[in-house]
Amino acid sequence: MEENKKSRWSFFWNREREEILEAEDTTPTLKYFFKLLGRRFPRILTLNLMMVVQIIPLIIALLVYMWSDTTPTQTEHLFAPLYGVSLISDAPSVSLWLSTLNIQTFVPIQTLPNIIAYVVLFLITALTWGFQQVGATYNLRSMVRHEPVYLWSDYMYAIKRNWKQALVVGILDFVFLFLLVFDYLYFYMITGSFAIDFMFFVIFAMIILYFIMRFYIYLLLITFDLKTLKIFKNALIFAVLGIKRNVMALLGIVLMVVLNLLLIVGGLSIGLAAPVILPFFYLLGFSGFMSAYAAYPVIKKYMIDPYGYDDPQSGSDNEDDHDDSDGGDYIPAEGNV
């Protein structure tokens, strides 16, 4: 037993050797989440660096926007008509309001080269979005299922096996995310009336719902042979069926983001820029692990166990026995919940 413990906990020997370890309770509880997180910690950090590649074009687009030439503009809509009134009447009240609303800001000038750069960068992101999501999700699923993880080879294997559907789903996913963020910012900037405020909260609710659906979309894609429409339909169903686990994962991700924002704001307030870079080393990986840990047990409960497939983590069944030549590992009879 002492030898087994040394093999398990040695700093230089971190491979999991299931054949010599005693059986443990792998029920996906909150307590076991932290245990599995500690065990998979180095792998998640490495996978995070692979996942960051997918947002590099978006970061470049943001830098192009921020580094463009700027022009001054007024932040208040009433400034222009008040300025026109001041040219006609020099009343003290007009001058007071004009000085109060005379707040300028600088906005980047969008030239033709800038617009072309944005289009190219967004196209690159949209076309590769699904590939990178599928590769990362395959690795995260292996971590949650207690399977051996070979990050790069598994990453490329998942893309090669599911590239057609990954391309379609990735483009749809990226477009949905873009539209939801655009609508959110649009209604946020023009809030004021009841109708606009109502639409703002509707869009906000849709963002939360779709964010939870994304826990399942790519897991379903790599695990089952489903049509694209059924992937999104089942993801919506699981967003409700797994509400407890989904909310816990959502709260965990939000908490991590908030803590990072507080760290960034605190660092910048004292002239420290390092906190801005730190999230690129762990945020995507840990967020993905939380979502996979929450979502996979729900999928297993409703779409794997009812069809009599063995638990992959038990080692009694080979995943490849359920493979389909068109992609996916498990093929339920109906392909739907």
Q: Are residues 221 and 158 in the same domain?
A: yes
Tell me, yes or no, whether 60 lies in a domain. Answer: no
Q: Are residues 186 and 275 in the same domain?
A: yes
Dihedral, CA atoms, 133, 136, 139, 140, nearest 10 degrees? -80
Higher pLDDT, 101 or 126: 126
Tell me, yes or no, whether 246 lies in a domain. Answer: yes
Q: Are residues 95 and 229 in the same domain?
A: no
Tell me, yes or no, whether 42 lies in a domain. Answer: no
Q: Are residues 138 and 272 in the same domain?
A: yes
Structural domain harbouring 146: 112-311+321-337
Give the span between the Cα atoms of 54 and 130, in whole angstroms: 10
Angle at 213 between CA 212 and CA 218, to 5 degrees: 120
Q: Are residues 171 and 243 in the same domain?
A: yes
Q: Tell me the pairing of strands 104-108 and 70-74.
A: antiparallel
Q: Are residues 191 and 121 in the same domain?
A: yes
Cβ–Cβ under 8 Å, residues 147 and 312: yes
**Averaged pLDDT for residues 212-239:** 96
Tell me, yes or no, whether 94 lies in a domain. Answer: yes
Higher pLDDT, 4 or 65: 65
Q: Is the pLDDT of residue 94 over 90?
A: no
pLDDT-based confidence at 319, cuts 50/70/90? Answer: very low
Tell me, yes or no, whether 153 lies in a domain. Answer: yes
pTM: 0.79
- Counting runs of H as helices and runs of E as strands, what totals does the chain give? 12, 2
Q: Are residues 97 and 239 in the same domain?
A: no
Q: Are residues 80 and 210 in the same domain?
A: no
pLDDT tens digit string along 151-178? 999 999 999 999 999 999 999 999 999 9
Domain count, the chain: 2
Angle at 333 between CA 297 and CA 157, to 5 degrees: 60
Helix runs in 190-337, H state only = 194-223, 228-241, 243-269, 274-277, 283-299
Q: Are residues 103 and 117 in the same domain?
A: no
239: left (phi over 0), alpha (psi -120 to 50) or beta: alpha
Question: Comparing C-alpha atoms, which of 333, 279, 273 is closest to residue 306?
Answer: 333
Q: Are residues 248 and 337 in the same domain?
A: yes
Q: Is the pLDDT of residue 221 over 70?
A: yes
Q: Are residues 169 and 150 in the same domain?
A: yes
Q: Which of 84, 107, 130 is the last residue of a domain?
A: 107
Tell me, yes or no, whether 27 lies in a domain. Answer: no
Q: Which of 60, 86, 107 is the last residue of a domain?
A: 107
Tell me, yes or no, whether 97 lies in a domain. Answer: yes
Q: Are residues 123 and 139 in the same domain?
A: yes
pLDDT-based confidence at 193, cuts 50/70/90? Answer: confident
